Amino acid sequence: MKLLEDVILEKGEILEGNILKVDSFMNHQIDPILMEKLGIEFAEYFKDRKITKVLTVESSGIAPSLMCALKLQVPLVFLKKTQPSTMRQPLTSEVFSYTKNKAYTLCMEKHFLNNDDIVLFIDDFLANGEAFRGVEDIIKQSGARLEGVGIVIEKSFQKGHEYIISQGYDLYSLADIKAFNNGKIIFK
């Protein structure tokens, strides 16, 4: 998506360890007009898949996922990274965060997904695919079916892409970074 690539080039910052900082429009401060366009793009791509729920991980995936869910007119469910004391029947999965360099537990109330649900998972980034594996595990525990994966920014030079494709999922990334080269972002 050219618009997103242009915003990344203008406002993104490459940090040590191949981390792309996009806090000025997505991870800290949110550009709602851009998020609406991202959500519409995902909804258009997956519109014929009979999606019943959009799923994401808190917190940076919520804005584009909500816009997509709104366009598809289905609920948005987000996985929490900390289990609240009010959660009665949690589904959980352990994941490791590349950017935070620590493990955490994804969780959600069991009744928000079931075997009648057709799920579209949307996330802000795809790198090594660790968060995705946790999401995939929770979807399997729920009995729901994962129909598609929408990623705002993919770093296809890392192993997450290969894993998702090898599992047979339809992966749609709006900005695909093939490399960081001398402080520059190279899109696929």
CA-to-CA distance for 128 and 108, rounded, in angstroms?
22
Q: Report which residue type is found at 53.
A: K
The tens digit of pLDDT for each residue in 113-137 reads: 999 999 999 999 999 999 999 999 9
Task: Provide the pLDDT for residue 166.
Answer: 97
d(CA 65, CA 77): 9
At the topology level, CATH places domain 2-187 in Rossmann fold (3.40.50)
Taking only the tens place, the pLDDT of each residue in 91-104 is: 999 998 877 788 99
DSSP state of 180: E
Q: What is the pLDDT of residue 18?
A: 84
Q: HSE-up of 9 (CA within 13 Å, CB side)?
A: 12
Instruction: Give residue 17's pLDDT.
Output: 82
What pLDDT sits at residue 74? Answer: 98
The residues that bridge with 97 in the sheet, in sequence order, are 102
Q: What is the pLDDT of residues 21-51, one digit of tens each?
A: 999 999 999 999 999 999 999 999 999 999 9
6's CB contacts (< 8 A; 6+ apart) are: none
Q: Where are the domains of the chain?
A: 2-187
Q: What is d(CA 128, CA 97) in angstroms, rounded to the nearest whole number? A: 9
Sorting pLDDT into bands at 50, 70 and 90, what band is 169? very high
Each residue's pLDDT tens digit, 55-84: 999 989 999 999 999 999 999 999 999 899
Phi-psi label, residue 67: left if phi above 0, alpha if psi -120 to 50, beta otherwise: alpha
Report the candidate in 140, 145, 106, 143 with the shortest Cα–Cα distance to residue 123: 106
Average pLDDT, the chain: 95
